[in-house]
Amino acid sequence: METTNTFLDIWNTIMLSGALVIAGLGILIYLLHKLRVTTIQDYKAKYDYINQYEIKTYKRVFLCFAIAAAMVINLYGMSKLKTVEVWFFVRLFMSIAGGTLIAYVAALVLDYYYPTVLNKKLRKWRYLSRPSKAGGKMRLLSEDEEDVHLEEGMQAEENVFSIDYDVWLDESSGEIRIDKYPGHLQALKCNSCGFYTMRVVKEEITRHPSKDANGELIKHFQCSYCKSVRATAYNISTKEAGDYKAATEHSFRKNKNIDLVRVEIHSNVAGKKFFDFSNIEQAQKFLEEYDAEKVS
């Protein structure tokens, strides 16, 4: 009897101390992440760090909280439990189930809801005006303006939306900065479940661009939550780098409040087609070049 009581006392002490230590570890991980984000001065580097590590870090934080919660649940009724009996194992099962439920719900929130919040945060750091080395304020160039500063390969990447480049210019000093980003959003919104969980799983070029006709790229998407699929056709432009050198400058900037521009075209020749673009300028350029007979 005395040995059993000693075991329970040690067990309860471990559960209480462990809950405090692991919860503290979770808070420490969170604070270190926030400190790291704060100390990164370069906006692009801050964007990359948040994009790569924020969700992973938060999953570790919530895992710590889930383990701590399980230990706290395991202390329920400890003053009434005097010996190791059935209730001890029932309580142990309840604590494991409670901790698992907390971790599972947190993972669902971080996988299917938080990407929407994260996308807004990333857009803030992506489009926040950069200071130049000379101390001036850099301006984000429009799609037409930036092509003059991009190599042919970079323009080709943008044409098929695999990579997106932002070109910043300090008009007083002439300093140019080119930032490279993934061509897709953190995740697109699924039309079936409504979550931002639609990702590209396959790409195929169904028609290569020629001198007189644009090409067509088909991107196949699948929702990682409800598993619904979608295929979207993208226009591959036939323009070359020299076509952009005469582009006139515009004062407008990319619209920071638009995540996706969808163009739906109904045609007797080509039927119904969807085209997705990352901003209004790409959609406008596509509509100017669009020819239903060539795309059919």
The pLDDT of residue 291 is: 55
Residue type at 54?
E
Residue type at 143?
E
The pLDDT of residue 247 is: 42
Of 281, 275, 257, 277, nearest in space to 119 by CA: 257
The pLDDT of residue 159 is: 67
The pLDDT of residue 260 is: 64
The pLDDT of residue 242 is: 42
CA dihedral 151, 153, 156, 158 (to 10 degrees): -70
261, 276 in Cβ contact below 8 A? Answer: yes
- What is the arrangement of strands in the sheet containing 176-182, beginning at the earlier edge strand? 139-140, 163-169, 176-182
Place of tokens 């059919």: 296
The pLDDT of residue 285 is: 67
The pLDDT of residue 227 is: 81
The pLDDT of residue 251 is: 38
pLDDT, one tens digit per residue, over 109-146 is 999 889 889 988 999 999 998 998 888 899 999 887 88
The pLDDT of residue 29 is: 97
DSSP state of 137: B
The continuous run of DSSP H or E covering 265 comes out as strand 261-267
Radius of gyration of the chain (CA): 27
DSSP state of 249: P
Low-confidence ranges of the chain (pLDDT < 50): 1-3, 185-186, 240-254, 269-270, 292-296
The continuous run of DSSP H or E covering 168 comes out as strand 163-169
Looking at the chain, list the stretches that DSSP marks H as alpha helix, in order from N- to C-terminal side: 2-39, 43-73, 86-108, 114-127, 143-146, 152-159, 280-289, 292-295
